[in-house]
Chains A and B, each alone.
Chain A
C-alpha cells in the first residue's frame, strides 16, 4: 500500500465487499460487528465482481405490485359476479361486477403508467407471443376487461333507472350482459394466475425459484381479496358464497405460501423473510388468518364481515407487495444469483452430469 499526498482526494471507499475475487459475501451472517479477523484458512467463499449485481432487477415500481393486487381483486370479483348471476343474488352480482370493472381499470392504468413509453402501450397488442407471459397477459387483460366492462355498464344502467344515453343499444346491452359475465369469468382465472408466470419467467432469483407454486399463491390471494371486498360491499344475507370463498382462499394462500418456501432453493427463499418484504409477508399471513377466522366465526355479523373483508384485502396487497419486493431485493444482491447457481452446478457435477456447464475446459 503506497500513500501519496493526493490520497485525500480519493473518493470514499465503498463500504462493503471492497476486495474483488475472494471477497466474503453476505453469505455467512455472523455477529456482524466487523471486527472479526479473517480466518487463516478461508472457508468456501462466494465471490462476486465488487459486490455488484449479476442480473438486473425489473425496472418496475410499486405500480406493478399494485397491479398484481388489483388484477387479482378484479379476477375474483368476476367469478363472484358470475356466481351471483347464476344463483340470483342481485346485490352480490351488481357489487362484484362493479368491483371487477373498477379494479381492472385501476390496474390497467397502473400498468400503463409504469411503461417507459406509456404512449406506446398499444404496442402490447401488435403481436401475440406465447413465449412472453406479458404478451399473453395483455390479451387476457383485454379480453377480461371487455366482459367486465359490458356487465358493469349494464349494472350502472340499471342502477340509474335506464338513464344512460344508450338508445337502441340498450336492448343489445341487456342481451349480451349475461354472456359478458360468463366471458369475464372465463378469463378471470388466467388473469389471476398469469402474473405469477410473468414473475416466474424471469432471471430474478427469488421469483424464478418460486415458479412452481407462485400461481397457487396468486390465485388464492386473488380469491381471498375479492371475497373480502364482496364482504365489505355486500349485505351478509347475499354474501354467503363470498365468505366461503374467503375461507377457501385463506387456506389456499397459507398452504401454498408454506409449500412454496419449503420447495424453493433455500438461498433464493431468504429475501422472502428479510427486510421490508419479510415484514410484509409476515403481516400478510397474520391478516389473512385473522380475516379468515373472523369470517368463519362471526361472518354473519355485518361489522365483523366488513372488518374481516378489509383485513383480507390488506393481506392480499401485502402478499403481492412482499413477493414483488423480495424479487427485486434478490436481483440487487449478487449472492442470490451466484450461490444457488453454484450449488446446482456442483450438485449436477456430483451426480455425474458434466456436459451442460457454461464453463468448459475446451
Chain B
C-alpha cells in the first residue's frame, strides 16, 4: 500500500517493477466541437451496450446524460448567456489573483505593440451566447477512491498509472461506485431497455449485454496501450480536443494552453486536475475548462474518501472500546 493522499507516483506505489511513464489525457474543452466521435469510438471499441432508452433529455445536444457503466465518454453541452460568460471570466480572473500555483513556462509575454488592455478580447461570435462543450471521462486519479475501497482487488493500477476493472474478478459489490468522488464508475445493470415499438425488432438484434452486474468504467483503453496504440476516443477526436500522452507532457501542454488563452484575455480558462496537491493527488485526465467545474457536472473540491481512513479506523476503534466497556459494566454491576 502506498500513500493515501498527497502527491505521489501511483505506478510506483502499486509496486510495478518496469513502470512505464504515466499516461493521461488533456481534454481541451475550448476546441471541442461536440461531434461526439469520442463517445461513439469508445462504445465501438469497448463493445459497450446501449445505455438506457433512446430519448431526448432536453439538455441541449446532450442526450447521453452522464458517465456510467456503459458510457465511458460523455460529451456535456451547456448553453450560456452574456451574464454567465462575464461571471465565468471573473471567477477565472479571481483564480489568477489568488496566485494559484503556476509551474512550467510562464505566459508568453504579450507583444508590446498590441495593447491588450484596450483590445476587444471577446472572441468572435460568442459575445452574448456561448456553448460550453466538454468530453468527460474517468479521471484515473492519483489516489483513486474506487480502487482503494474495492474489496476483491478487481480494480487495479496498471503499469501506465491508470485504473482498470478486471471484469472477471469483480463480484459487483458496488463499493467503488460510492467511493468515486467524480461519479464515474457504475455497476452495469442487466441493460434491459424499453425502446420505441417501431425500433423493437431492430433492438432485439443487439448482442447480449456483456458483464452484467459488475462495475464498469473507462480503462484508458488498456488493451490498446499495451499494444502501444492511442486510446480510441483520442484517436477519433477530429479537433485534438482530446490529447493523449505521457501525463507530465499533458500537464505541461495544458499549462501552456491556459497561459496562451489568458494572454488573449480569456481569463475564464482554467485547469482542472493539474494540481497534485488537490484532494485526489491530481488526476490522470486533465481538463481545460471555461467555467466553474460544477457547471460541467464536476465536483468543485473532490477529496478521495480514503484520505481520512486512518482517522475513521481510529474513531471506530474508540467506538469498539466503548461498546465492550458498556457490556462489561452491564455485567459487572449486574451481579447483585
Contact = CB atoms under 8 A, between A and B. Distances in A.
B301 interface: yes
B85 to A, nearest CB: 9
A360 to B, nearest CB: 4
Nearest to A87: B331
Given A14-B58, A202-B178, A344 B301 contact: yes
Interface string A214-244: 0110111011000100000000000011101
A201 B316 CA distance: 12
B29 to A, nearest CB: 13
Nearest to A61: B174
Contacts of A220: 323
B101 interface: yes
A201 B66 CA distance: 23
A245 B302 contact: no
Contacts of A121: 171
A49 B170 CA distance: 30
Given A20-B78, A60-B174, A354-B98, A248 B329 contact: yes
A11 B98 contact: no
Interface string B274-311: 11011110010000010111111111111001101101
Nearest to B282: A358
B313 A83 contact: no
A127 B169 CA distance: 11
A361 B270 contact: yes
Contact of B299 (A46, A75, A86, A338): A338
Contacts of A222: 323
B50 to A, nearest CB: 18
A124 B151 contact: yes
Residue among A21, A127, A349, A362 facing the most chain B CB atoms (10 A cut-off): A362
Nearest to A55: B183
B277 A356 contact: yes
A244 B328 CA distance: 10
A134 B298 CA distance: 26
A123 B174 CA distance: 13
Given A126-B152, A197-B312, A248-B329, A55 B299 contact: yes
B297 A52 contact: yes
A123 B169 contact: yes
A278 interface: no
A20 B79 CA distance: 7
Nearest to A139: B151
Contact of A59 (B60, B80, B187, B322): B187
Contacts of A202: 145, 149, 175, 178-179, 305
Interface in A18-56: 18, 20-22, 46-50, 52-56
A116 interface: yes
A188 B321 CA distance: 11
A138 B151 contact: yes
A137 B149 CA distance: 11
10 contacts: A79-B323, A117-B170, A127-B152, A196-B319, A202-B145, A215-B312, A223-B323, A344-B301, A357-B278, A359-B95
Given A196-B319, A360-B271, 12 more contacts: A49-B296, A116-B214, A129-B151, A133-B312, A196-B316, A211-B311, A215-B315, A223-B323, A342-B294, A344-B301, A356-B277, A362-B107
Interface of B: 1, 4, 55-60, 62, 65-66, 76, 78-80, 83-84, 87, 92, 95-96, 98-102, 104, 107, 132, 145, 148-154, 169-175, 177-188, 212-215, 255, 258-259, 262, 270-275, 277-280, 283, 289, 291-302, 305-306, 308-309, 311-313, 315-324, 326-331, 333-335
